[in-house]
């Protein structure tokens, strides 16, 4: 029995190595190393949690959106993010961790979500800056993940990236409208760009020199580019598009380095990043509190749905038995 298992594992391991070497896809039923599974669950659930917590700053403006068209677009966007969360939780469940477990981990503070959502959305222009910069950074991060070695994750990313690009365009349009509006509107837009710039750059994670988990992820074809490579790409995109907006990036050191062939930016405050990560950002407590409240307030509804479903299936069984 044990021998048979060992043989299967050996075959699975060989298959895994071949799949990675050929840059092909691992599927849920395939053998995979425990570390690989663990790393995926961590990354994918963190991603799912980010979609869900990330709804909060934008929800804050749905009821106050300044035109009905913008209200509709914002509502649809936030609803998309809920869909992304659902989709990613389902993809993660293929690795054997249930959504309930992931939710527990989030609510217990054991699982992370993207730090950026611990900053407050204090003006309407933040709806523009979040779409343009935060969704923009997400796309930069996620496009390479469309080729991630784990099939369900890669496929989820293909789907999600399509929607994220709409979000980014809509954010850009909000800023464009503001920057070509009244002086007060333009100032609002500039202020939002100033506040979201550094946090959005830090969404790519710590500098390569300080990123311990990246090596394995790269070897497993989950991660394709380093944090700094992606960040540099993102800065380049911002630097070009900000000209169309006729706004400025709050970083005089942004430039294209001809010799290195890549975009560079000024120093980032990694101390602040660590503080926010450690739970001491402006909104950490608020975000978790809201998530917990929704979960707790909804408990009786979920219980009712489960009880009703159980009664229904019991009734169906009885009916089926009588018929037979």
Partner 1 sequence: MIPTGSPHSQVPGSSPHSQARDGSRAAVGPRDGSRAGVGPSTGSESDTAHHRNPTPYSQGESSASATRITPGNALRPEDIALAAAAGTAKPSEGVAEYALRLGDDALILAQRLGHWISRGPELEEDVALGNIALDQLGHARSFLSYAGAAWGKTEDDLAYYRSESEFRSAHLFEQPNGDFAATIARQFIAASYQYPLYRELSGSSDPMLAAIAAKAVKEVDYHLDHSTQWVLRLGGGTEESRRRMIAGLENMWPYVGELFEDDPLAAHVGDAVVVPTSLKDEFDRATGAVLAQAELEVPAHPMATGGGRRGRHSEHLGYLLAEMQVLAREFPGASW
Looking at residues 142 to 181 of the shown chain, list those that interact with Fe ion (rule: CB under 5 A): 164, 167
Cα 234 to Cα 53: distance, rounded to the nearest angstrom: 23
CB of 193 to Fe ion, least distance (A): 18
Q: Is 84 in the site for Fe ion (CB under 5 A)?
A: yes
User: If binding is defined by CB under 8 A, does position 64 make contact with partner 1?
Assistant: yes
Among 43, 45, 56, 141, the residue binding partner 1 under the rule CB under 8 A is 56
Q: Give me the least distance between CB of 178 and partner 1, in Å please.
A: 8
Site membership for Fe ion, residue 231 (CB under 5 A): no
Question: What residues contact residue 109 under an 8 Å CB cut-off, 6+ apart?
Answer: 279, 288
- Per CB under 8 A, the segment of 58-66, 109-117, 204-212, 265-273 that binds partner 1 is 58-66
Binding-residue pattern over the window 34 to 53 for Fe ion, x denoting contact by CB under 5 A: -----------------x--
Distance CA 117, CA 234 (A): 18
Q: What is the DSSP annotation of 145-170? A: GGG-SBHHHHHHHHHHHHHHHHHHHH
Q: Which residue, 184 or 324, is less far from partner 1 as judged by CB?
A: 184
Cα-based distances in Å from 1 to 7, 29, 33, 124: 10, 20, 21, 64
Complex with partner 1: residue 20 or 272, whichever CB lies closer: 20
Residues numbered 284 to 303 that lie near partner 1 (CB under 8 A) are: 290, 293-294, 297-303
250-253 contacts at long range (C-beta below 8 A, 24 or more positions apart): 250/193, 250/194, 250/197, 250/198, 251/197, 251/198
For position 63 contacting partner 1 by CB under 8 A, the verdict is yes
Cα–Cα distance measured from residue 189 to residue 171, given in angstroms and rounded to the nearest whole number: 11
* Residues touching partner 1, count (CB under 8 A): 89
* Cβ atoms of 96 and 37 closer than 8 Å: yes
Which residue, 60 or 226, is less far from partner 1 as judged by CB? 60
Residue placing its CB nearer to Fe ion in the complex, 93 or 135:
135
Q: How far is the CB of 41 from Fe ion (least distance, A)?
A: 19
Nearer to Fe ion, 84 or 223 (CB): 84
Helix (H) or strand (E) holding 256: strand 255-257
Are the C-beta atoms of residues 41 and 95 closer than 8 Å to each other? yes
**Smallest separation (angstroms) from partner 1 to the CB of 312:** 8
Q: Please, what is the minimum distance in Å from the beta carbon of residue 68 to partner 1?
A: 5
159's contact among partner 1, Fe ion, none, with CB below 5 to 8 A by partner kind, is partner 1
Integer Cα distance of 100 and 113 in angstroms: 16
Q: Min. distance of Cβ 281 from partner 1 in angstroms?
A: 18
Locate tokens 């710039």: which residue? Answer: 197
> DSSP label at 206?
S
* Residue entry with tokens 């707790």: 296
Residue 270 CB neighbour total at 10 angstroms: 13
Of residues 130-169, those binding partner 1 (CB under 8 A): 132, 136, 151-152, 155-156, 158-159, 162-163, 165-169
122 counts as binding partner 1 under rule CB under 8 A: no
Query: Six-digit token pair at 201?
Result: 């750059």
35 interacts with, out of partner 1, Fe ion, none, CB within 5 to 8 A per kind: none
């Amino acid at each position: 029995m044990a021998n048979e298992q060992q043989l299967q594992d050996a075959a699975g391991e060989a298959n895994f190595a071949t799949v990675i070497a050929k840059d092909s896809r691992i599927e849920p039923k395939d053998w995979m190393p425990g570390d690989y599974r663990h790393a995926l669950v961590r990354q994918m659930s963190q991603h799912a949690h980010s979609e869900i917590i990330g709804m909060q700053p934008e929800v804050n403006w749905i009821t106050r959106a300044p035109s009905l068209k913008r209200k509709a677009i914002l509502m649809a966007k936030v609803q998309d993010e809920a869909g992304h969360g659902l989709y990613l939780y389902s993809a993660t469940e293929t690795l054997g961790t249930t959504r309930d477990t992931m939710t527990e981990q989030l609510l217990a503070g054991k699982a992370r979500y993207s730090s950026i959502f611990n900053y407050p959305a204090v003006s309407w222009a933040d709806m523009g800056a979040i779409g343009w910069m935060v969704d923009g950074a997400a796309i930069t991060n996620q496009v390479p993940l469309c080729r991630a070695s784990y099939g369900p994750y890669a496929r989820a990313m293909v789907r999600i990236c399509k929607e994220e690009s709409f979000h980014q365009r809509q954010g850009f349009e909000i800023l464009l409208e503001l920057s070509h509006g009244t002086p007060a509107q333009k100032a609002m837009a500039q202020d939002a760009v100033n506040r979201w710039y550094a946090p959005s750059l830090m969404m790519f994670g710590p500098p390569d020199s300080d990123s311990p988990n990246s090596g394995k992820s790269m070897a497993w074809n989950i991660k394709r580019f380093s944090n700094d490579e992606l960040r540099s790409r993102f800065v380049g995109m911002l630097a070009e598009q900000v000209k169309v907006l006729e706004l400025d990036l709050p970083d005089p050191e942004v430039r294209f380095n001809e010799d290195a062939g890549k975009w560079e930016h000024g120093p980032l405050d990694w101390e602040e990043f660590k503080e926010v990560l450690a739970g001491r950002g402006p909104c950490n407590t608020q975000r978790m509190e809201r998530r917990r409240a929704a979960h707790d307030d909804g408990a009786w509804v979920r219980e009712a749905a489960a009880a009703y479903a159980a009664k229904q299936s019991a009734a169906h069984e009885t009916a089926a038995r009588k018929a037979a």
